[in-house]
A and B are shown apart, each in its own frame.
Chain A
Amino acid sequence: MLSDAETLRYSRHLLLEEVSESGQNKLKKANVLIIGMGGLGSPAAMYLGAAGIGSLVLADFDCLEVSNLQRQIGYSVDGVGENKAELMKQRVQALNPEIKVRTIVQKMNKSQLLMELMLTDLVLDCTDNMKTRQMINSACVEAKRPLIIGAAIRMEGQLMFFDHQQADTPCYHCLFPSHEEQALNCSNSGIVGPVVGTIGTLQALEAIKHIVGLPSGIKNKMKLFDGKSLDWQTFAISKDPQCAVCGDNQSAGIR
Chain B
Amino acid sequence: MQVFVNEKKIEVDDKSNIEQLLLRLGKPLQGCAIAVNQEVINRSAWRKYKLVEGDEISLFQAIAGG
Q: Which residues of A are interface residues toward B (Cβ below 8 A)?
A: 36, 38-41, 125-130, 133, 150-153, 156-158, 174-178, 181-187, 189, 191, 196, 199-200, 222, 224, 233-238, 240-243
Contact = CB atoms under 8 A, between A and B. Distances in A.
A133 B43 contact: no
Interface in B17-48: 30-31, 33, 35, 38-40, 42-45
A178 B66 contact: no
A102 to B, nearest CB: 21
A36 B40 contact: no
Contacts of B39: 235-236, 238
A126 B66 contact: yes
Dominant secondary structure at the B interface: mixed
B64 A133 contact: yes
Contacts of A133: 64
Interface string B42-66: 1111000000000000101111111
A91 to B, nearest CB: 18
Contact of B65 (A128, A237, A242): A128
B58 A151 contact: no
A235 B38 contact: yes
Given A158-B63, A199-B66, A240-B44, 12 more contacts: A36-B66, A128-B64, A130-B62, A133-B64, A157-B63, A177-B43, A183-B31, A184-B64, A234-B38, A236-B40, A240-B42, A242-B44
Contacts of B66: 36, 38-41, 125-128, 150-152, 185-186, 196, 199-200
Nearest to A127: B66
Contacts of B31: 178, 181-183
Contacts of B33: 175-176, 222
